[in-house]
Structure 1
Amino acid sequence: MSTAPAGSRTYSYLGPAGTFTEAALAQVEEAEGQVWRPVANVGAALDDVASGRSHGAMIAIENTVEGGVSSAQDALANTPGLRIIGEYLVPVSFVLVAPRGSRLEDVVDVAAHPVAYAQCLEWLGKNVPGHTQVIAASNVQSAIGVLDGSLPAQAAIAAPGVANHYDVDVLAENIGDNPDAVTRFVLVTRTVQPPEATGADKTSLIVELPKEVPGALVEMLEQFATRGINLSLIQSRPIGDRLGRYRFVIDADGHIVDERMADALMGLKRFSPHVIFLGSYPRADRQAVQHSDRYSDASFADARDWLRELLAGAAAE
């Protein structure tokens, strides 16, 4: 945890020290030199923000293997008053660690965070066949649990940096199945005005269907398609009140100040009984959002001017 003078800001993250989440937080310039508060899970991090204990929270939201992180999506849906203000990408690699003197051939049970475990299944199947997974709260907690005996496992999947903080042997390196694996993190604060548009932005939403009828999902998607907005993520999550009820977590290319995005959000609000605006923020890859000229801000302004002229009695052209 960083040390900082009184009156400084606090940032919560999935701890303890050495996690990928800490690596993501290290990319936030305004968090440098501030207080970093490790917590046990995503819900605790967001509760810190909602309660005012922390100014912001860094949470994992998506990865190249598992897609959206369901625990983070559900926590965002169920914790009011939050806003995403930035996203950060962290390349992901894993090591298998164990107490000093351990051997790979003696490993029967492997402790791992579920997301990390899913990214190492192929390697584990080849090198630790017949093993049993033991769930850990984080990539670092898996190593700690193996060392102190709180987790019934002989080895743990962890981030490479764990060997710098704990007395372990590294039994194997680069055990991830995808060498290009990346995890996407978002920085969450209490509700604030969105950062200024950069031209390379993303908007995150959670939308519920108004009723379960044929074509309802298509109608929701049309709010984006008819305005030329690309969706980089759409994932369903159960609402939890009864079977068959789902909400949709959506990442859309563009910013709320863009005419096409603002128009789409108004369409969604008319369509859905419950729309959660999670935020508009700069894309981590800084790639400019592409769209055709008919979806430019100028085209929307021109269409409005044309309609006003018609209402004022001008001849149609």
Structure 2
Amino acid sequence: MSDPQPSGLGTIAFLGPEGTFAHAAVRQLPAAARATLLPLGTVTLAIDAVRAGQADAALVPLENSVEGAVPATLDELANGEALVIADEVYLRVAFELMARPGTRLADLHSVATHPHAEAQVRRWLMAHLPGVQVSLVGSTAGAVQAVAAGEFDAAVGAAVAGELYGLDVVAHDIADSEGAVTRFVLLERPGPPAAPTGNDRTSLVAYLRDDHSGALLELLGEFAARGVNLTRIESRPTKGRMGHYCFSIDCEGHVTDQRVGDALAALHRVCADVRYLGSYPRRDGAQGPVPVGRSDRSFTDARDWLARIRAKGGS
């Protein structure tokens, strides 16, 4: 079965301006060819555009293989008006050091970039540009624009941004770790999940009840008991009292899978709250085999067996 793609997306917001890695990622979506792309200055603005009805969807970064989670995205998904993830995009990230034409490496005194980009090129900058002032801005493309306007000497970002805004590459592929990848998620207003593909991911946020011994183990045990593999778990403060956290979770499978649905229902019983964030095609590999006794058929057989016991006794 082919993966279903979001349809009817008239406007897709993304972290702009044009030339960001988010811009490169959104162009990978099949729906983008028929949609209006709306660049906005921050992740929060892109998400708010969906909540306000100004955009049908927003593509925003969720995590990076080097720097980890993007807190702004996690916090927006955990708080405010609920949205769901409809799809995901993986983008290999290659960083270029760019400056106005004629600029040499020795001429640089200031560099601008996004915080996540800076974290991935920090040691290169320390080794090759010691003492240079590094400024953090809202996006890598915004940094390139600022260099073109004369505000900084150089910017770290995607090569396409330099092409768009007339900069030359001074140093190529300067990441501290090779093969960095950023995962982007496509957010929409809540609606029925797409049909399962057989290689899906489900996302949610779980809020623990008042702290007690083994609370996190209890949460994890609901997945383990049903053979549901977690692919990501992140803790984030609830914005309330000190020491109170929620957990942003990705797991293998689709909410219509019996074992996944049963795990979510169990979490609803033991957690203070559970926010469902969507079931959607997985784009980074194959789902593992369903453990023995955890298939949909096994759940159905077990319920039928229990119904017979309750109705007639015996096995």
TM range (shorter): over 0.9
Listed one character per residue, the Cα deviations across residues 226-280 of structure 1 (whole Å, up to 9, x for unaligned) are 1111111101111112211111111111110000100000011011112111100
Residues 109-148 of structure 1: matches in 2 within 5 Å? Answer: 109-148=110-149
Listed one character per residue, the Cα deviations across residues 182-226 of structure 1 (whole Å, up to 9, x for unaligned) are 111111111111111011000111111111122111111111111
Query: How far off its partner does 1:82 sit?
Result: 0.9
Is 1:199–1:289's contact at 8 Å kept on the other side of the alignment?
no
Query: How far off its partner does 1:8 sit?
Result: 7.5
Aligned residue number for residue 108 of structure 1: 109
CA RMSD of aligned residues (A): 1.5
Three-state SS of the structure 2 residue aligned to 1:294 is coil
Whole-angstrom distance in 1 between the partners of 2:287 and 2:219: 25
Query: How far off its partner does 1:178 sit?
Result: 2.0
Listed one character per residue, the Cα deviations across residues 126-150 of structure 1 (whole Å, up to 9, x for unaligned) are 2112333211111101111222245
Aligned residue number for residue 12 of structure 2: 11
Query: How far off its partner does 1:285 sit?
Result: 2.8
Structure 1: unaligned runs, 5 residues or longer: 1-6
Structure 1 runs (4+) deviating above 4 angstroms are none
Aligned residue number for residue 42 of structure 1: 43
Is 1:47–1:79's contact at 8 Å kept on the other side of the alignment?
no
Is 2:253–2:287's contact at 8 Å kept on the other side of the alignment?
no
Amino acid at match of 1:312: A
Whole-angstrom distance in 2 between the partners of 1:108 and 1:214: 53
Is 1:201–1:289's contact at 8 Å kept on the other side of the alignment?
no
Aligned residue number for residue 212 of structure 2: 213
Whole-angstrom distance in 1 between the partners of 2:310 and 2:133: 70
Matching of residue 222 in structure 1 with residue 221 in structure 2: yes
Aligned residue number for residue 294 of structure 2: 295
Which stretch shifts more, 120-129 or 174-183?
Answer: 120-129
Whole-angstrom distance in 2 between the partners of 1:164 and 1:148: 15
Aligned residue number for residue 169 of structure 2: 170
Aligned residue number for residue 20 of structure 1: 21
Aligned residue number for residue 256 of structure 2: 257
Relative to structure 1, is the Cα distance of residues 8 and 271 closer, same or farther in structure 2, using a 3 angstrom cutoff? closer
Listed one character per residue, the Cα deviations across residues 161-194 of structure 1 (whole Å, up to 9, x for unaligned) are 1121012121100001222111111111111111
Matching of residue 196 in structure 1 with residue 169 in structure 2: no
Three-state SS of the structure 2 residue aligned to 1:302 is helix
Listed one character per residue, the Cα deviations across residues 41-80 of structure 1 (whole Å, up to 9, x for unaligned) are 1111111111111011000111101121111111112231
Relative to structure 1, is the Cα distance of residues 242 and 108 closer, same or farther in structure 2, using a 3 angstrom cutoff? farther
Whole-angstrom distance in 2 between the partners of 1:49 and 1:257: 26
Whole-angstrom distance in 1 between the partners of 2:242 and 2:108: 40
Amino acid at match of 2:61: A
Is 1:210–1:273's contact at 8 Å kept on the other side of the alignment?
yes
TM-score for the superposition, normalised by structure 2: 0.94
Query: How far off its partner does 1:286 sit?
Result: 5.1
Relative to structure 1, is the Cα distance of residues 289 and 282 closer, same or farther in structure 2, using a 3 angstrom cutoff? farther
Amino acid at match of 1:250: I
Is 1:254–1:289's contact at 8 Å kept on the other side of the alignment?
no
Q: State, as a whole percentage, how many aligned pairs show the same letter.
A: 42
Matching of residue 279 in structure 1 with residue 278 in structure 2: yes
Three-state SS of the structure 2 residue aligned to 1:312 is helix
Is 2:9–2:57's contact at 8 Å kept on the other side of the alignment?
no
Whole-angstrom distance in 1 between the partners of 2:216 and 2:177: 32
Is 2:10–2:34's contact at 8 Å kept on the other side of the alignment?
no
Aligned residue number for residue 72 of structure 2: 71
Amino acid at match of 2:177: N
Is 2:40–2:46's contact at 8 Å kept on the other side of the alignment?
yes
Whole-angstrom distance in 2 between the partners of 1:113 and 1:28: 23
Is 1:208–1:248's contact at 8 Å kept on the other side of the alignment?
yes
Relative to structure 1, is the Cα distance of residues 240 and 76 closer, same or farther in structure 2, using a 3 angstrom cutoff? same
Query: How far off its partner does 1:22 sit?
Result: 1.3
Three-state SS of the structure 2 residue aligned to 1:118 is helix
Matching of residue 270 in structure 1 with residue 275 in structure 2: no
Is 2:9–2:56's contact at 8 Å kept on the other side of the alignment?
no
Whole-angstrom distance in 1 between the partners of 2:232 and 2:9: 35
Is 1:139–1:159's contact at 8 Å kept on the other side of the alignment?
yes
Alignment size in residue pairs: 308
